[in-house]
Structure 1
Amino acid sequence: MQYHLNGFQSGDPSVARAAAVAPHKDAVDVLIVGCGPAGLTLATQLAAFSDVTTMITERKSGPLELGQADGLACRSVEMFEAFGFAEKVLKESYWVNEVGFWRPDATGGGLTRVDRIQDVADDLSEMPHVILNQARVHDFYLEQMRNAARPILPVYGHEMVDVCKTDDPEYPVIATFQSVDGENETRKVRAKYVVGCDGARSAVRRAMGHALKGEAARQLWGVMDVLAVTDFPDIRLKAAIQSVAHGSILIIPREGGYLVRMYIELDALHGDERAADRNVTPEMLIAKATKILAPYTLEVKEVAWWSAYEIGQRVCDTFDDVTSDVRGTQMPRMFIAGDACHTHSPKAGQGMNVSMADTFNLGWKLAAVLRGQSVPALLETYSEERQAKAKELIEFDKDMARLFSAKPRGASEAEQFQSYFKKHGRYTAGVETRYAPSMLTDTGTHAALATGYKSGMRFHSAPVIRLGDAKPMHLGHVLKADGRWRLIGFAGSGDEGQAGSAIEILCSFLAKGPIARFTPQGADIDSVLDLRVVFQGAHQKMKIEALPNLLLPRKGRYGLIDYEKAFCPDLKNGPDIFDHRGIDRAKGALLIVRPDQYVSKVLPLSDFEGITAFFDGLMLPV
């Protein structure tokens, strides 16, 4: 973490020295409807920009106190690292290290563990899969928003009752809110962009004329968080249990060492029957869980929370307000994210994670357009990218839910679920997303230069040593959620940044070309395009004083030198990032990485034409 750039300041360095929170205005750049995970992710991203005004509203009277979602995929924790609160999540959460699979024993009279596997494969991510109450994740987001460059406080107790477009060229969307405290007070807010993060019954989605499409599985499930005493041996492991006659249970241990969540299969729904028609009670869930776990015992001491739900997977045709007949000529002004545009079963742990990924994708794009850095067409890529990913994940979720509910008629059928789980671990970890070629992503022409970094996929971190202070760290942790593009250079053999080397020539080109073209006058040289370079040699043998100026940039009002741009492989602890991520040692490589940590292009270090063409097609010169 870097601070003191513009003068020494004592106190908590995570708190930006920003002006006091201004009163909520009636005209904003971005209006976010809904304080769920999607809305808070977006607001936290936008709060990082002092020149973007954002309002986030919520019909409930205050912050969430008890959340329903619990699983946080590896990719989500990587994202939390970019926001700066991953350590807090990791400290409080339950880490899902292994998974046990249980099914009826050979006699049919009991249960037996048939497999116990590692939950996250080695090197899938540097972050674990964890379990933490959704409300605590909200708390961390709210804290980050309060401490940001443009502090944001949610407006609670206001329900959006209407939203429509106007002919106002500056604020073309207007939303009407009504107070929910019984006073029937109404309020209108004008906005440049509106984002509906208001759940499966989204008012923003309805106003846009969209609908969730799909079919329910007609399978009823119950879920409860309990404090219980049991002799079931895997109660502190994630465990999938399939019985012959009584259905299935998914056990998810919770944070704190004692609490456990149980997803319990109930009977199928019939005809027009809904979950509410069954009059499910906690006692019913406990009784069913006891039958499934038999001959093991279950004595529930307290039910902290419970619910009943019907499995369903639905998705909208598009995630913005532009219809197909004007796509490409009309830019979007309204968007939907999270449950407002796709719903999943809880089994694969996708709901909250995919929702946060939606707005992590959208946030930097909105900021780039609002700040005049990028062309408005950038906003069209949100629906293109996220709708395609939602459809893929829904198909995966359908298969996962179907296999989990299947009644195993033999060992081979029972093994299908655990085989599917092992095979698709990348999906449950959240790292399988790959965006299709577009203005943001190339087709992988130079993929051989860095086989471990595929265009369209998230930047896969690996250990390095920071040259300036010999700090062992993960390279991916420099990719903060601050709206900057990263150019990650991997130096070829013998290149230490000396005069005439490929890295030195690249630095000279960037400083005089794209960086000069897109960086506002008076701003730090790395405020828009941030170059980092990994050299092949041992850090103790490198001469930092010989590096090009762009890797020792002078910044801030005092012209202080930033010593955190150059890295070397961690040759002591390993693995060597060049071998580990398939970097061509002779030629090196240059990665263009988006502000949301996805790789846009892999290029030769000398492909100045390719670098220029990419940014000229996307960004606006100053």
Structure 2
Amino acid sequence: MQFHHHGYVSGDPLIQPAAGVGINRPVELPNEVDVLIVGTGPAGMLAAAQLSQFPSVATRIVERRPARLAIGQADGIQTRTVETFQAFGFAERITAEAYRITETAFWKPDPADSSRIIRIARTQDDPADISEFPHLVVNQARVLDYFAEFMANSPTRMSPDYGFEFRSLSVSDEGEYPVTVTLVRTSGPHAGQERVVRAKYVVGADGARSKVRESIGCALAGDQANHAWGVMDVLAVTDFPDIRLKCAIQSGMGGSILLIPREGGHLFRMYVDLGEVEAQNKGAVRSTSVEEIIDKANAILHPYTLDVRNVAWHSVYEVGHRLTDRFDDVLPEQRGTRIPRVFITGDACHTHSAKAGQGMNVSMQDGFNLAWKLGHVLEGRSPESLLSTYSAERQVVAKNLIDFDKEWSTLMARKPEEFENPSELEDFYVRTAEFPAGFMTEYAPSMLVATAKHQCLAPAFTIGKRFKSAPVVRVADANRVHLGHHAKADGRWRIYVFADSAPHSADSPTERFANWITNSPDSPLAATPSGADPDAWFDVKVIYQQDHTGVDINAVPEVFKPQVGPFRLTDYEKVYATDPTEDIFELRGLNRGGLIVIVRPDQYVANILPLTATTELAAFFAPVLRPRVETRVFNE
């Protein structure tokens, strides 16, 4: 963590000084805002947290509930999401309180007595070492708390506006605030009163029954399988030996259970198979009592017993897989003729079963994808055309998720005797581990993602996929760190320069590139507003092939040691060397001649280029950046 560059900080360094709209932030919801987010679910809260890092952008997030969520329905935190939490600064803290999944047990009927279940397999949760981050289980409400803390400590001092329900909106072609939103107060002395807010952009994060979605003429389309599940979070006493392991349990007596231990050492969740449901009789299954769910769980667990002492939460649902054809208010025939003004995220645009543990995770990535783009457009960094990439990128991701979840939920509901291969369920779980971990998202070429022309320079940094971190050694202090862990959710692009084998010679590709990116009018750094820190929009780092003792810090080009803050202090934390025990060049197959890896603010690889390809680098950023503007700079 870096601080003190604006003067000595004697308090909590996580609390950033107020700046921009965070100075004298109105307590009451104002009449006009830049971005209005509807709903404080995972997608909405992450989007708000990201936008809280843009001091000049007035963002408000409204919620119909009168206060914070007390207990959330979602609980699975995939490793890609923990990686995202790292960017927001709370991965270690939430990991400490969460349940960590390291192994999954599979239970099936005993061949000698099908009325009994036996454990038939154990699988590691991450056998291929996909990520250095853990797979966690923690209440959704706690995740939202962490994002609320982050935005409250941000320069904009953001906090949710509770007690406002979305009613309708209209979009005009004119005016600075073209979206008119009608809200109604749901609590307090003014409950029932309407309130009108005008916005430049609106984000609908208001769930599967989204009124924002309805207001822009979108509808969820897809199938709803006639198969019901009861889900409950309980405290219980049991002789089932794997009660603190994630388990997929199939019973010979009929039915299945997906068991998910919860945080705190005692609570656990059970998804209990309630069987097929007649289409004309859905109301009956939805009224299934928690006592009936417990009885069904005991039947599936035989010969083991489950004595439930407390039920924290329960529900009944049917598996549904639905998706909207667009994630914004631009109709297909309007593409290219107008910019989107209203966006939908999370369950508002894609629904599926909870058993793949993807709902909260994919929703948060929706918010991450959209929010930095809104920030860049509203701050004048990028043209409005950037916003059209949100729907194009995330709709494909949601479609892939639904296809995966259909297969997984179908396998979970299948009876043991219906499998051709007895190990089919656990084989599928292991074979597809990278998808539910959140690492199969791969954005197609666009204005934000280059083609794979130079992919061979860095095979493991797949263009369009998230940047896969690796250990390096920080030269200045000899600390071993993970390179990707220093990419914060601050809205900046990352430019990683992997140096050639002789970087300090005057005519080396690394030196020539450093000179170009510092001085050329075609350099993306030239778009940085005058008066801002030189790394305000672009975080440029260098990784040398030598170990840290072989790097002369004084010979490192100044672009990798920018002077920041009002005292123009040197930032030494952008210069790295290889870790002799885990050489990043070898781990990621990097070309020893040197290369550039460009990473988006949401941690996805956007381009890979040779050190000499400055013309291509300039061409890549040309449509993404507006020419230099005298943007107001808010110093900490």
Fold match by TM threshold 0.5: yes
Q: For 1:71 and 1:523, locate their aligned partners in 2 and report how far apart those are by CA, in whole Å.
A: 40
Report the CA distance between 1:415 and its aligned residue.
1.5
- For residue 121 of structure 1, the aligned residue among 102, 124, 127 is 127
Report the CA distance between 1:266 and its aligned residue.
0.3
Aligned to 1:131: 137
Q: For 2:55 and 2:286, locate their aligned partners in 1 and report how far apart those are by CA, in whole Å.
A: 51
Amino acid at match of 2:268: V
Please state if 1:211 is matched with 2:219.
Answer: yes
Gaps of 5+ in 1: none
The residue correspondences of 1:167-566 to structure 2 (distance < 5 A) are 167-181=173-187, 183-274=191-282, 277-409=285-417, 412-495=420-503, 497-513=504-520, 514-566=523-575
For the structure 1 residues 4 and 276, does the alpha-carbon distance in structure 2 shift closer, same or farther, using more than 3 Å as the test? farther
Q: For 2:625 and 2:402, locate their aligned partners in 1 and report how far apart those are by CA, in whole Å.
A: 33
Aligned to 2:105: 100
For the structure 1 residues 454 and 275, does the alpha-carbon distance in structure 2 shift closer, same or farther, using more than 3 Å as the test? farther
Task: Tell me the SS of whatever aligns to 2:252.
Answer: coil
Q: For 1:79 and 1:134, locate their aligned partners in 2 and report how far apart those are by CA, in whole Å.
A: 15
Q: For 2:517 and 2:501, locate their aligned partners in 1 and report how far apart those are by CA, in whole Å.
A: 21
Report the CA distance between 1:486 and its aligned residue.
0.6
Amino acid at match of 1:552: K
Amino acid at match of 2:166: M
Amino acid at match of 1:215: D
Q: For 2:191 and 2:260, locate their aligned partners in 1 and report how far apart those are by CA, in whole Å.
A: 43
Q: For 2:324 and 2:437, locate their aligned partners in 1 and report how far apart those are by CA, in whole Å.
A: 24
- For residue 45 of structure 2, the aligned residue among 20, 40, 46 is 40
Instruction: Give the conservation status (yes or no) of the 8 Å contact 2:115–2:252.
Output: no
Please state if 1:87 is matched with 2:92.
Answer: yes
Task: Tell me the SS of whatever aligns to 1:164.
Answer: strand
Report the CA distance between 1:515 and its aligned residue.
4.2
Aligned to 1:21: 25
Q: For 1:434 and 1:598, locate their aligned partners in 2 and report how far apart those are by CA, in whole Å.
A: 9
Aligned to 2:626: 620
Aligned to 1:111: 117
Amino acid at match of 1:58: E
Amino acid at match of 1:493: S
Instruction: Give the conservation status (yes or no) of the 8 Å contact 1:552–1:563.
Output: yes
TM-score scaled to structure 1, two decimals? 0.98
Instruction: Give the conservation status (yes or no) of the 8 Å contact 1:344–1:351.
Output: yes
Aligned to 1:60: 65
Instruction: Give the conservation status (yes or no) of the 8 Å contact 2:254–2:415.
Output: no
Q: For 2:420 and 2:578, locate their aligned partners in 1 and report how far apart those are by CA, in whole Å.
A: 45
Instruction: Give the conservation status (yes or no) of the 8 Å contact 2:104–2:125.
Output: yes
- Could you tell which deviates more after superposition, 271-280 or 527-536? 271-280
- Could you tell which deviates more after superposition, 379-388 or 148-157? 148-157
Aligned to 1:580: 587
- Deviation per CA, 1:564-616: give whole Å up to 9, x if none: 11111221xx321111111012x121111100000011110110011000011
Report the CA distance between 1:359 and its aligned residue.
0.8
Report the CA distance between 1:246 and its aligned residue.
2.2
- Deviation per CA, 1:46-74: give whole Å up to 9, x if none: 00111100010001111000111000010
Instruction: Give the conservation status (yes or no) of the 8 Å contact 1:275–1:310.
Output: no
For the structure 1 residues 303 and 414, does the alpha-carbon distance in structure 2 shift closer, same or farther, using more than 3 Å as the test? farther
- Could you tell which deviates more after superposition, 316-325 or 533-542? 533-542
Q: For 1:120 and 1:482, locate their aligned partners in 2 and report how far apart those are by CA, in whole Å.
A: 29
Instruction: Give the conservation status (yes or no) of the 8 Å contact 1:68–1:134.
Output: yes
For the structure 1 residues 464 and 67, does the alpha-carbon distance in structure 2 shift closer, same or farther, using more than 3 Å as the test? same
Aligned to 1:4: 4
- Deviation per CA, 1:419-474: give whole Å up to 9, x if none: 11111101110111000111111221111100100100000011111111111111
Task: Tell me the SS of whatever aligns to 2:417.
Answer: coil
Amino acid at match of 2:181: A
Instruction: Give the conservation status (yes or no) of the 8 Å contact 1:248–1:404.
Output: yes
Report the CA distance between 1:549 and its aligned residue.
0.8
Report the CA distance between 1:123 and its aligned residue.
3.0
Task: Tell me the SS of whatever aligns to 1:110.
Answer: strand
Amino acid at match of 1:425: A
Task: Tell me the SS of whatever aligns to 2:333.
Answer: coil
Amino acid at match of 2:608: V
Instruction: Give the conservation status (yes or no) of the 8 Å contact 1:369–1:375.
Output: yes
Instruction: Give the conservation status (yes or no) of the 8 Å contact 2:273–2:413.
Output: yes
Q: For 1:50 and 1:272, locate their aligned partners in 2 and report how far apart those are by CA, in whole Å.
A: 53
Instruction: Give the conservation status (yes or no) of the 8 Å contact 1:212–1:314.
Output: yes
Task: Tell me the SS of whatever aligns to 2:416.
Answer: coil
Amino acid at match of 1:517: A
Q: For 2:311 and 2:280, locate their aligned partners in 1 and report how far apart those are by CA, in whole Å.
A: 30
Instruction: Give the conservation status (yes or no) of the 8 Å contact 2:561–2:572.
Output: yes
TM-score scaled to structure 2, two decimals? 0.95
Q: For 1:122 and 1:420, locate their aligned partners in 2 and report how far apart those are by CA, in whole Å.
A: 14
Report the CA distance between 1:217 and its aligned residue.
1.1
Task: Tell me the SS of whatever aligns to 1:557.
Answer: coil
Q: For 1:15 and 1:392, locate their aligned partners in 2 and report how far apart those are by CA, in whole Å.
A: 38
- Could you tell which deviates more after superposition, 507-516 or 270-279? 270-279
Instruction: Give the conservation status (yes or no) of the 8 Å contact 2:547–2:577.
Output: yes
Aligned to 2:634: none
Report the CA distance between 1:278 and its aligned residue.
4.5
Q: For 1:259 and 1:52, locate their aligned partners in 2 and report how far apart those are by CA, in whole Å.
A: 41
Amino acid at match of 1:83: F
Aligned residues: 618
Amino acid at match of 1:424: T
- Could you tell which deviates more after superposition, 475-484 or 273-282? 273-282
Amino acid at match of 1:463: P
Report the CA distance between 1:228 and its aligned residue.
1.2
Report the CA distance between 1:296 and its aligned residue.
1.2
Alignment root-mean-square deviation, CA: 1.3
- Could you tell which deviates more after superposition, 196-205 or 241-250? 241-250
Gaps of 5+ in 2: 629-636
Q: For 1:494 and 1:561, locate their aligned partners in 2 and report how far apart those are by CA, in whole Å.
A: 24
Amino acid at match of 1:21: R
Q: For 2:172 and 2:613, locate their aligned partners in 1 and report how far apart those are by CA, in whole Å.
A: 45
- For residue 170 of structure 2, the aligned residue among 144, 155, 164 is 164
